[in-house]
């Protein structure tokens, strides 16, 4: 009986090994070869080939000529901050003093300054402070579209002009 048992076990294992092994060709086919698609090459363009609107300026900035007029025998000195970052809340203006392009005093002589501005800085505020107790600043505005690239500020007879 022992031999019969061994014989059945041998046949069963042989059938199991044969049925699991090398049956058919299950190998997956290799992936297709990659084909690189080449886009057509456009000819190199030079700045001569650029086309733009006639109002477009290719500069990233400009220079503003700022003239502070001379004080004509004023009894009170005046200080001016010229800044680009400010907001309005009703009658009051909040100025980011880190954005000031010029901080100076008016003198007895006319002063001329060249201020370099970026193309995005198209509006400025000049906050003129009389140097006296309880002084209230006087705000003067410049806009590139309205005033061009020159701005004159005068503080004579405590009247400010734009």
* Secondary structure in 3-state letters for 123-140: EEEEEEEECCCCCCCEEE
The per-residue pLDDT string of the chain (162 residues; one tens digit each, 9 = 90 and over) reads 567 667 676 667 666 666 665 555 556 777 777 777 777 777 777 777 777 777 766 667 889 999 999 888 778 889 999 999 999 998 889 999 999 999 999 988 999 999 999 888 999 999 999 999 998 899 999 999 898 899 999 887 544 444
Please state whether the predicted TM-score (pTM) of the whole model is above 0.85. no
Burial 36-48 (b: 16+ CB within 10 A, else e): eeeeeeeeeeeee
Structural domains in the chain, sorted by start: 63-161 (2.60.40)
């Amino acid at each position: 009986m022992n031999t019969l048992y061994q014989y059945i076990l041998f046949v069963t294992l042989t059938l199991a090994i044969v049925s699991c092994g090398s049956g058919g060709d299950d190998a997956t086919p290799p992936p297709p070869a990659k084909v690189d698609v080449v886009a057509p090459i456009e000819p190199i363009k030079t700045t001569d080939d650029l086309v733009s609107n006639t109002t477009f300026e290719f500069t990233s900035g400009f220079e503003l000529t700022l003239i502070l007029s001379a004080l004509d025998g004023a009894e009170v000195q005046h200080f001016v901050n010229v800044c680009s970052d400010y907001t309005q809340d009703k009658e009051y203006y909040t100025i980011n003093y880190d954005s000031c392009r010029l901080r100076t005093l008016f003198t007895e002589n006319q002063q001329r300054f060249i201020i370099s501005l970026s193309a995005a800085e198209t509006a400025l505020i000049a906050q003129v402070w009389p140097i006296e107790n309880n002084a209230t600043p006087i705000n003067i505005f410049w806009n590139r579209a309205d005033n061009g690239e020159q701005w004159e500020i005068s503080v004579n007879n405590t009247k400010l002009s734009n």
